Structure 1
Amino acid sequence: MAMEVVKHGEEEEFAIKPQASLPQLDTSSWPLLLKNYDKRNPLKRDIKSYISSGVINLDKPSNPSSHEVVAWVKRMLRVEKTGHSGTLDPKVTGCLIVCIDRATRLVKSQQSAGKEYVAVIRLHDKLPGGQVQFARALETLTGALFQRPPLISAVKRQLRIRTIHESKLIEFDNDRHLGVFWVSCEAGTYIRTLCVHLGLLLGVGGHMQELRRVRSGAMDETKGMVTLHDVLDAQWTMDNTRDESYLRKVISPLETLLTGYKRIVVKDSAVNAVCYGAKLMLPGLLRYESEIEVHDEVVLMTTKGEAIALGIAQMSTVEMSTCDHGVVAKVKRCIMERDLYPRRWGLGPLASEKKKLKADGKLDKYGRPNEATPAKWVSEYKDFGAVEGATAAAASAPATPLKAVETTTVTTSVAVTPANNEDDGESKKRKKHEGETPDEKAERKRRKAEKKAAKAAKKASKSGGGEEDDDSE
């Protein structure tokens, strides 16, 4: 009985007990795009790759232009390319996203993202209504507004429509004629023009005194903003002490800019095909996020959390879960370098069978059917990647070659006009190059140009040698 009691007690000790809280996964070691948005860590790349695919959330100082600042960062880090996510005027400070090398492919997507500013406006006179009047006028100037760029702007001064999403009064001093407000707007909005319009609406006039950008796209002041001194110190530490921790803190991986996009996880075998610009088909899909709609902008990513490309969804989440074939997304902007993953296309059962038929002579070198092609292949196979003209020409061609017409007399066969000869030559040439892919055509043209150049060089060298001989005589 005692043993039974002990066993019973042990069973009770290890039994699963009900809990009030749900079990949670530990995502601390997961890659960037696979984790929750609030628990993101940089990818574990080597320092060279980390820098070349990184972005810096830079606090731009007053006075130098955005292009100067970006050029300084390029010189500090000794990299090939740098770019920024939207120009700030020389006197404006705040968030400037500096993209390095491969991350420059994301510059356009960040330039069109929303921005947030904190501005100081100086009014030209005291307001009779005080802070209430100013707040009401600021609230009026929201939504779609007509704007013309300021006189000091470098762009063409034409009327354009810009949207102010939200604005908020922070502080107002009626005696000193100063107001501080926060504004969230679309890319390309001129806060200087907004301040002028605010002064006109209040009836006293006004101009912008000071401006700071607090958010640009996915980056804001709270997300690891660094100064130019930080960048310089981090590179100095790396060069002199081989300590890369400071540099990893200053630079963030490019995936931090893509956290707002819906995610589609791609199989490793399909990654390189997408890098070469191929559409993502359903067999290459591994996982996908919920609530994706057709024509949504999505990020295609690997199982390790690396961004492959920005794409446009061609299927909704419901269609992805119910269909067995079709195009999931087409590539808008490729981010990953080619051949980082192995080439895995052309290894499926259908492609392997096609290669075997070509090797056996049952298909021509372009993969088109001939007289030896099995009837089952002709009836079942459809080449979706074939050029329309080449397909039509191949379809109109007879299955069996026409028998040559026997000539009755020798004179008839010989009596061919030069025009007919030219036509035959053209048709032979056309038939020879019929159905070739654009890459094959480009390669043929290149070889032809090389031959022509070699021939011209040989001719020039001969003529040059002849002239030298004449001079020597």
Structure 2
Amino acid sequence: GFSGKKRRKKEKRVIPDEDIADIQHTEEFFIKPESRIPQLDTSQWPLLLKNFDKLNVMTAHYTPLASGANPLKREISDYVRSGFINLDKPSNPSSHEVVAWIRRILRVEKTGHSGTLDPKVTGCLIVCIERATRLVKSQQSAGKEYVGIVRLHNAIESEAQLARAIETLTGALFQRPPLIAAVKRQLRVRTIYESKLVEYDPERRLGIFWVSCEAGTYIRTLCVHLGLLLGVGGQMQELRRVRSGILGEKDNMVTMHDVLDAQWQYDNNKDDSYLRRVILPLEKLLTSHKRLVMKDSAVNAICYGAKIMLPGVLRYEDGIELNQEIVVITTKGEAICLAIALMTTAVISTCDHGIVAKIKRVIMERDTYPRKWGLGPKVS
């Protein structure tokens, strides 16, 4: 058993002291017959196929079809059209302008982004291209993190006072969008999950703080509230978004120049390796979702809006809850759609028919895979 393994390891560690004859006597050097098949190690597999051997197997039988491709191995034109860029937005142009420039650089029809940043604000802007724009809605409503600088109009007694004030402003807060906002200025509630003071400079009365908040929180309003809370007045001096959804500053963030250079490299030297580095497949945005793996023959039916039924499922993840948002993938690791689970993991494992999930948003193009429905009751 397991403890035996451990003991054997310990014996191996002590080896240098012993005589070689003793070693031969104690250790048996041969591969013992085992009943179980050795496991694939998929912890290093890309994107949605990572650790797929940990998924529960519904059935292992399906007919592979030659259509589709692994997200990282797509043709470069498809790769760009179903990718996104984690862009470091420069200060001064508006988010809309930046996205329009990228559209022009890459010569694509359609782009979207993960929630507007004010012109002066820098940082994480996820730009989705063509097919990936289908994920924009979920990106916009994902949580965000910021690092900001607040300027206080008068001196305060101590740094601790500001730290306390920032701690106070967590949880659900009332906010009215600032005057310059592009939305209707109604009072609304936004949640701040966590915040902390990083540093305070009493000379210049500037405080650096970090906030993790719900989408649509105005940090500008937050800074004004901080000033009111301290009784000295305050305003936002500078702001940077350090995380949007599951992607932060460290996750392959690129500048506008990088995008321009990558496209130039491809146009002039026919070298797409830079483009493939700058643009990531949309599957990367879905790595935190629970997964369902479908048979190749069921894929196109789902693209046409069929419900996700149990006979089409190959593998499913642990811990799927009712009404949870999950991602449905092919055997090659492409995202087919986002879906709402109608069965828990326990129910999936005990049933043999029924609707597993209903589609929320189809991501894959229709007819990427051939049509395989209506061919009679017994088609795998």
* Normalised-by-shorter TM-score class: 0.7 to 0.9
Letter in 1 for 2:258: D
Distance 1:219 1:118, change over 3 A: same
Query: 1:224 aligned to 2:252?
Result: yes
**Which residue is equivalent to 1:81?**
110
**1:114 equivalent in alignment to 2:130:** no
Return the offset for 1:32. 2.0
Query: Which residue of the other structure, out of 50, 61, 68, is the alignment partner of 2:79?
Result: 50
Matched letter for residue 100 of structure 2: A
Q: Which runs of 5+ in 1 are unaligned?
A: 1-7, 18-22, 352-473
Letter in 2 for 1:280: I
What is the CA deviation profile of residues 266-319 of structure 1, one whole-angstrom value per residue up to 9, with x for unaligned ones? 111110010001110110111110010110000000011000000000000000
2:165 aligned with 1:137: yes
TM (norm. structure 1) is 0.68
Q: CA deviation at 1:152?
A: 0.7
SS of the residue 1:349 aligns to: coil
Q: Which amino acid aligns with 2:310?
A: L
Which residue in the other structure is 1:30 paired with? Answer: 45
Q: Which amino acid letter does the alignment assign opposite residue 30 of structure 1?
A: W
Q: CA deviation at 1:168?
A: 1.2
1:297 aligns with 2:297: no
Alpha-carbon displacement from aligned partner over 1:79-133 (angstroms, at most 9, x marks no partner): 11111110000000000000001000000010000000000000001101x1111
Deviation per CA, 1:340-378: give whole Å up to 9, x if none.
111111123389xxxxxxxxxxxxxxxxxxxxxxxxxxx
Aligned twin of 2:12: none
CA distance in 1, matches of 2:350, 2:29: 45
Root-mean-square deviation over aligned CA pairs: 2.1
Contact 2:41 2:51 in 1 (8 A): no
Contact 1:31 1:304 (8 Å CA) reproduced: no
Report the equivalent of 1:370: none
2:229 corresponds to which residue?
201
Deviations 1:380-413 (A, max 9, x none): xxxxxxxxxxxxxxxxxxxxxxxxxxxxxxxxxx
- Residue 240 of structure 1 and its aligned partner are, at CA, apart by 0.8
Distance (whole Å) between structure 1 residues aligned to residue 238 and residue 184 of structure 2: 23
Partner of 1:102: 131
SS in 2 for 1:199: helix
In 2: Cα distance, 1:12 partner to 1:198 partner: 71
TM-aligned CA deviation for residue 46 of structure 1: 1.3
Q: Which has the higher strand share?
A: 2
* One-letter code aligned to 1:148: R
Q: What are the within-5 Å matches in structure 2 for residues 69-468 of structure 1?
A: 69-128=98-157, 130-349=158-377
Q: What code does the residue aligned with 1:45 have? A: R
Q: How far 1:175 sits from its partner (Å)?
A: 2.1
Q: Which of these two proteins has the greater Rg computed from alpha carbons?
A: 1
Percent identical pairs in the alignment equals 75
Write the distance in 2 (CA, Å) between the matches of 1:181 and 1:42. Answer: 38
Q: CA deviation at 1:36?
A: 4.5
Q: Are the aligned partners of 2:177 and 2:221 in contact in 1 as well (CA < 8 Å)? A: yes
Code of the residue aligned with 2:165 in structure 1: it is: A
Query: What 5-or-longer segments of structure 2 have no aligned partner?
Result: 1-23, 53-69
Paired letter, 2:374: G
Higher relative contact order, chain-length normalized (CA < 8 Å, sep 6+): 2
Maintained 8 Å contact 2:71/2:333: no
Q: Is the 8 A contact 1:218 1:256 kept in 2?
A: no
1:14 corresponds to which residue? 30
Residues 117 and 213, structure 1, Cα contact 8 Å, conserved in 2 = yes
Find the residue that maps to 1:153 and give its secondary structure.
coil
Deviation at 1:77, TM superposition (A): 0.6
Structure 2 CA distance for aligned equivalents of residues 31 and 268 of structure 1? 19
Matches of 1:245 and 1:27, distance apart in 2: 24
Give the length in aligned residue pairs. Answer: 335
TM-superposed deviation, 1:154: 1.2
Looking at structure 2, the residues matched to 207 and 299 of structure 1 have their Cα atoms a distance apart, in angstroms, of 41
Gap change, CA 1:252 and 1:142, over 3 Å in 2: same
C-alpha contact (below 8 Å) 2:243/2:249 kept by paired residues: yes
* Shift of residue 14, structure 1, vs aligned partner: 2.6
